[in-house]
Amino acid sequence: MAVARAGVALADPTFYNRWTVSSFAIRPAIAFAIIAAASLACNRHAPPPAPRAQLIERTHQTMGTEVRVTVWASDAARVETAVSAVFHEFDRLDAMMSVWKDGSDIVRLNAAAGERAVPVAAETREVLHIAHQISEQTDGRFDVTFAALSGLWKFDYQDKDNSIPDRKEIAKRLPLINYRDLELDDRAGTAELKRKGMRVNLGGIGKGYAVDRAVDILRRSGLRDFMIQAGGDMYVAGLRDGRPWRLGIRDPRGPADRIFAALDLTDGTFSTSGDYERFFMKDGRRYHHILDLSIGEPARLSRSVTLVTERAVIADALAKGVFILGPDAGMALIERTPGVQGVIVSAKNEVSISSGLRQRLILLAPPTDAP
């Protein structure tokens, strides 16, 4: 807007001066009419002022959480079209990978465990390949076959009952948890669980994968400055009003809107796994959904893990493995993994920061200490 006004202001005096040379021979009223007409002609050819960028935000319920897309842009129609495509993609992937949607790839894979391979979509196989990679990196701490314990621990909103399963029942199912017994055949387009009773659940990786797909959609739509959040998984691109996005790390024991640290970030993922999203308290002890698969019970060494890297799917899955490993082994894994930085709040409420974030992380206050 300022540029357009300056252009008109500079044009008028120049044009007026050309006509004042002969103004003695022209009656004032005629001169004024000619000048006004000429000014209108100039204005007709001036470009319209560019629309101002604004923050546009939309939300959608899917994958058992709220998906929030925030875009800094001037073309509202383009944003609406792109965000609609993002939400459609989340729903499509949810129908493909959910354990709660009849006919999904994962429901069919689990039903055929120990019997046969089943055809699954290329996207499902891609997620399973990445899951295998993270399982290798974390020595099996992250393992999508943890779902063999489904029905014992119940943390999803669909079945939560705040009950503690019998230790003997847990022990019976632990041998069924082994990511190496999940076989993929990309040529045939199939996946297979080798033993009856095995189950897969992509809840610890699927949202990150969907976030990455959403980033591609927004970028292909010509949008550069945006944020996508699905539960604890987030990706930010470009800038917000000319500055990097400022992101907060939630206080694991504080109110839901309290953060204890912040980070300025652009073009990267910011993923947090914590014991405060899906949990219940019993006899003063917290039981949550991130299970230590060596014992089949909630992991006890961490309260939250936040990872910063390039791909949301990697951060989503790796954060679970780091959480289970705990602050010592988990931070060692972060430090030796290229392109990954992180912050861990331990079960003792101690904050560990990876070397690449120590000069960037803004600590606002110590995290609240509570069970």
- The CATH number given to whatever domain includes residue 135 is 1.10.3980.10
What end-to-end distance do the CA atoms of the chain give, in Å?
Answer: 55
**What integer pLDDT is reported at residue 71 of this predicted model?**
98
Position 50 in a domain = no
Q: In total, how many domains does the chain have?
A: 3
Closest CA to 313 of 220, 222, 201, 233: 233
Check whether 24 has a pLDDT greater than 70.
no
Report the percentage of the chain scoring pLDDT > 90: 83
pLDDT-derived band at 50 (thresholds 50, 70, 90) equals: low
At residue 288, the 3 state secondary structure works out as strand
Residues 265 and 335 in one domain: yes
How far apart are alpha carbons 291 and 295 in whole angstroms? Answer: 8
Report the percentage of the chain scoring pLDDT > 70: 87
Element containing residue 205 per DSSP (H, E): none
- The CATH number given to whatever domain includes residue 285 is 3.10.520.10
CB contact set of 294 (below 8 Å; sequence gap of 6+): none
Closest CA to 327 of 289, 300, 290, 294: 300
Position 106 in a domain = yes
Contact between 307 and 131 (Cβ < 8 Å): no
Residues 179 and 113 in one domain: yes
At residue 92, the 3 state secondary structure works out as helix
**What integer pLDDT is reported at residue 7 of this predicted model?**
33
Name the average pLDDT for the chain. 89
Residues 19 and 116 in one domain: no
Contact between 7 and 39 (Cβ < 8 Å): no
Residues 172 and 108 in one domain: yes
Position 217 in a domain = no
pLDDT tens across 326-365, in order? 999 999 999 999 999 999 999 999 999 999 999 999 999 9
Position 94 in a domain = no
Task: Give 62's strand partners.
Answer: 65
At residue 114, the 3 state secondary structure works out as coil
Q: What is the DSSP letter of 239?
A: -
Question: Sheet holding 65-73: strands in order across?
Answer: 54-62, 65-73, 226-230, 233-237, 268-274, 302-309, 341-346, 351-353
pLDDT-derived band at 51 (thresholds 50, 70, 90) equals: confident
Position 24 in a domain = yes
pLDDT tens across 75-122, in order? 999 999 999 999 999 999 999 999 999 999 999 999 999 999 999 999
Q: Which long-range contacts (CB under 8 A, 24 or more apart) does 193-196 make?
A: 193/109, 193/110, 193/112, 193/113, 193/114, 193/145, 194/114, 195/113, 195/114, 196/113, 196/114, 196/115
How far apart are alpha carbons 188 and 205 in whole angstroms? Answer: 24
At residue 39, the 3 state secondary structure works out as helix
Contact between 337 and 350 (Cβ < 8 Å): no
**What integer pLDDT is reported at residue 2 of this predicted model?**
34
pLDDT tens across 215-274, in order? 999 999 999 999 999 999 999 999 999 999 999 999 999 999 999 999 999 999 999 999
Domain that holds residue 250: 244-363
Residues 358 and 248 in one domain: yes
Residues 39 and 125 in one domain: no
Residues 125 and 15 in one domain: no
Residues 339 and 275 in one domain: yes
Check whether 45 has a pLDDT greater than 90.
no
Check whether 303 has a pLDDT greater than 70.
yes
Position 213 in a domain = no
Position 236 in a domain = no
Position 270 in a domain = yes
pTM, two decimals, is: 0.86
Residues 265 and 349 in one domain: yes
Residues 145 and 255 in one domain: no
Mean pLDDT throughout 189-204? 98
Contact between 171 and 165 (Cβ < 8 Å): no
